[in-house]
């Protein structure tokens, strides 16, 4: 019954969700009418027309449940048809059926698997009820609902006769739901974990580092490690013992190729890790308190108040169903107990301050009504609502054109000076780091390979990777000449080499670079840093 319902309902839901228009309106109005009729009453009507037995009961349940499939498939298809991958498929010349079934349908697997598991349990209950009422299977067919009906007749003589079939129905419904959760995790790749496991405090290796004694330090990260579970007693390390300090009022630049671990480092500072990862070691001290050891309630009071973050994709970071203003007011009302009027005035003032034209009118706009540059400005304004002392900016100029990039970076510099914030700037642009940052950390394969004063790092880089990044910048390249590149790519975490992780791509690697763990000594993780520095000097 459920397979028939899925085949019919998913096909119709995909069609009307992708096509929209009159087809969508007609089908959904019919679905609304049919779904308003109680399930058993509708089943009674179908069985009254086509008779009782296995086939009529199956068709009746399939017809009823197909409505549920139509609704959920149509809802997800409406969302997916607006995604960029659908536009890319159209540009590639794919036919409509192929776009629907090979591009959109696979992205519906998670919700459909869960819905199927729920409907399998519901189908078990509906068919059992029909058999109990004498409208399901034939009397001579073995059926749990029929067994319950017979047990009712002999309840005075054998009061426990209904227990086996009743338990069978109950356990089968529960097992269908558990099976759906497991299949959803496998097929859709969504690892669901209990609340609070993004920061595994109980399992985290406590750091032996004491809180920093220097009052000028706003944030100190020590030996932070992020791992992704692979199974029992197995994990994949993504961030490997990262340590850095952020001083009050300074701008710290974090650079490196994509996949180096820059964004995860910023998230780890807030006690977060991308699912299903977890922070398994290290500490992050702010005002003498280890953020990674705090309960969720205390950490929530610090996030957005003392420390805020600007995400690289504001369209994804903003909720699409709430206005910009509504989302901006939340931090101030949560942390400062401000009234709605006070929060509104503050939000409008900040929107105007960051350069949003007609801020009072745009306050009530939804995220999709803003351009990329305006959305990024609104994200900056929301981060500044509580005047944080620490600002984490995760590639704040990604996907913006060059003019808007310059405006956003100038705005961040002005706001930092105005509010006296310490700022961590995650970026790919070495030119931006050289112009705006006081200190810089270079990341590669989950490790910081060089850290120090920005002028010193760029004028005399001591790690071959830093030198390769600088050589790859287009600045100073003769017109018409081939742009320099770094051979190879950043290795994935499951293929990190032993020794120095950059040695497979390094022209200066020797045998010593391939053995043992390479420690960060005097701000550089390289066995030949002194030799290379002398070579550059000479």
514 forms bridges with which residues in the sheet? Answer: none
Say what the pLDDT of residue 193 is: 43
> How far apart are the C-alpha atoms of 172 and 53, rounded to whole Å?
22
Read off the DSSP letter of residue 399.
T
Say what the pLDDT of residue 205 is: 59
Residue spans of alpha helices (H) in 437-498: 454-459, 464-472
Residue 161 CA neighbour count, 13 Å, CB half:
15
Round the CA-based radius of gyration of the chain to a whole number and report it: 30
pLDDT tens per residue across all 538 residues of the chain? 889 999 999 999 988 888 888 888 898 888 888 877 777 777 777 777 777 777 777 887 888 888 889 988 888 888 888 776 787 777 667 788 888 888 888 878 778 887 888 888 888 887 787 777 777 666 677 788 778 878 888 887 888 888 888 888 888 888 887 877 777 666 555 444 433 434 444 355 555 567 888 888 999 999 999 998 887 778 889 998 899 999 999 999 999 998 899 999 998 888 888 777 888 888 999 888 888 878 877 887 888 888 988 888 877 778 877 889 988 888 888 888 889 999 999 999 999 988 888 999 999 998 888 888 888 888 888 888 888 899 999 888 776 677 777 888 888 888 888 888 999 999 888 888 888 899 999 999 999 999 999 998 988 898 999 988 888 876 666 777 777 788 888 899 888 998 899 989 988 888 888 887 888 888 999 888 877 776 665 5
Widest CA span of the chain, in angstroms? 103
Please list, in sequence order, all residues whose beta carbon lies within 8 angstroms of the beta carbon of residue 130, skipping any fewer than 6 positions away.
40, 43, 47, 57, 60, 136, 145
> How far apart are the C-alpha atoms of 305 and 331, rounded to whole Å?
7
- Residue 272 in tokens: 């977060």
> How far apart are the C-alpha atoms of 381 and 517, rounded to whole Å?
43
> How far apart are the C-alpha atoms of 532 and 519, rounded to whole Å?
17
Say what the pLDDT of residue 477 is: 63
Identify the sign of the CA torsion 360, 361, 364, 369.
negative
> How far apart are the C-alpha atoms of 292 and 286, rounded to whole Å?
10
Question: Backbone phi, then psi, for 487, in 5-degree steps?
Answer: -65, 145
Q: In angstroms, how far is CA 91 from the centroid of its own chain? A: 27
Of 186, 181, 46, residue with least CA distance to 120:
181
231 forms bridges with which residues in the sheet? Answer: 234
For the question of whether the overall pTM of this predicted structure is more than 0.75, the answer is: no
- How many helices (H) and strands (E) the chain has is answered by 21, 10
Q: What is the torsion angle, in degrees rounded to the nearest 10, for the CA atoms of residue 372, residue 376, residue 377 and residue 383?
A: 160
Please list, in sequence order, all residues whose beta carbon lies within 8 angstroms of the beta carbon of residue 98, skipping any fewer than 6 positions away.
89
Contact criterion met (CB below 8 Å) for 242 and 268: yes
Please give the order of strands across the beta sheet that includes 390-394: 307-310, 390-394, 422-426, 251-255, 439-444, 447-453
Of 299, 306, 472, 510, residue with least CA distance to 390:
306
> How far apart are the C-alpha atoms of 442 and 447, rounded to whole Å?
8
Give the DSSP H or E segment for 289. Answer: strand 289-290
Residue with tokens 């794919």: 94
Contact criterion met (CB below 8 Å) for 237 and 227: yes
Q: In angstroms, how far is CA 433 from the centroid of its own chain? A: 27
In Å, what is the CA distance from 49 to each residue of 37, 40, 389, 525? 17, 14, 72, 79
Contact criterion met (CB below 8 Å) for 270 and 390: no
293: cis peptide before it, omega within 30°?
A: no
């Amino acid at each position: 019954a459920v397979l028939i319902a899925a085949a019919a309902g998913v096909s119709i839901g995909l069609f009307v969700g992708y096509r929209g228009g009159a087809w969508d309106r007609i089908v959904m109005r019919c679905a609304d009418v049919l779904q308003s009729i109680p399930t058993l009453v509708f089943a009674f009507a179908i069985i009254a027309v086509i008779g009782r037995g296995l086939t009529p009961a199956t068709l009746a349940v399939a017809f009823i449940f197909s409505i549920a499939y139509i609704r959920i498939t149509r809802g997800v298809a409406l969302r997916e048809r607006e995604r960029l991958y659908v536009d890319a498929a159209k540009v590639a010349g794919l036919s409509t059926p192929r776009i629907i079934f090979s591009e959109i349908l696979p992205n519906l697997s998670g919700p459909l698997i869960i819905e199927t598991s729920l409907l399998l349990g519901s189908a078990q209950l509906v068919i059992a009820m029909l058999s109990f009422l004498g409208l399901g299977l034939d009397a001579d067919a073995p059926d749990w609902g029929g067994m319950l009906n017979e047990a009712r007749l002999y309840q005075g003589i054998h009061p426990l006769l209904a227990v086996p079939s009743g338990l069978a129905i109950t356990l089968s419904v529960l097992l269908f739901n558990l099976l759906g959760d497991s299949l959803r995790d496998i097929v859709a790749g969504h690892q669901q974990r209990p609340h609070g496991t993004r920061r595994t405090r109980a399992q985290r290796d406590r750091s032996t580092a004491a809180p920093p004694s220097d009052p000028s330090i706003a944030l100190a990260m020590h030996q932070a490690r992020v791992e992704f579970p692979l199974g029992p007693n197995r994990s994949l390390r993504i961030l490997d013992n990262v340590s850095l300090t952020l001083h009050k009022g300074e701008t710290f630049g974090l650079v490196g190729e994509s996949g180096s671990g820059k964004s995860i480092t910023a998230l780890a500072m807030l006690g977060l890790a991308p699912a299903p990862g977890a922070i398994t070691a290290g500490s992050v001290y702010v005002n003498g308190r280890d953020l990674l050891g705090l309960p969720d309630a205390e950490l929530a009071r610090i996030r957005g108040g003392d420390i805020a973050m600007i995400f690289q994709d504001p369209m994804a970071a903003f909720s699409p169903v709430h206005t910009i203003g509504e989302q901006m007011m939340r931090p101030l009302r949560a942390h400062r107990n401000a009234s709605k009027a006070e929060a509104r005035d503050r939000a409008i003032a900040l929107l105007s301050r960051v350069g949003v034209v007609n801020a009072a009118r745009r306050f009530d706009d939804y995220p999709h009504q803003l351009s990329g540059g305006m959305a990024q400005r609104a994200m900056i304004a929301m981060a500044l609502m509580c005047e944080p002392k620490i600002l984490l900016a995760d590639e704040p100029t990604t996907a913006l054109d060059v003019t808007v990039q310059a405006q956003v970076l100038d705005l961040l510099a002005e706001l930092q000076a105005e509010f006296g914030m310490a700022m961590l700037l995650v970026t790919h642009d070495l030119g931006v780091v050289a112009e705006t940052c006081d200190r810089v950390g270079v990341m590669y394969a989950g490790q910081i390979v060089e850290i120090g004063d920005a002028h010193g790092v760029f004028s005399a880089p001591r790690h071959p990777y830093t030198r390769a990044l600088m050589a790859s910048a287009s600045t100073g390249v003769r017109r018409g000449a081939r742009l320099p590149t770094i051979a190879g790519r950043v290795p994935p975490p499951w293929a990190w080499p032993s020794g120095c992780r950059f040695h497979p791509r390094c022209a200066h690697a020797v045998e010593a670079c391939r053995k043992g763990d390479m420690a960060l000594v005097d701000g550089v993780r390289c066995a030949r840093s002194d030799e290379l520095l002398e070579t550059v000097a000479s």
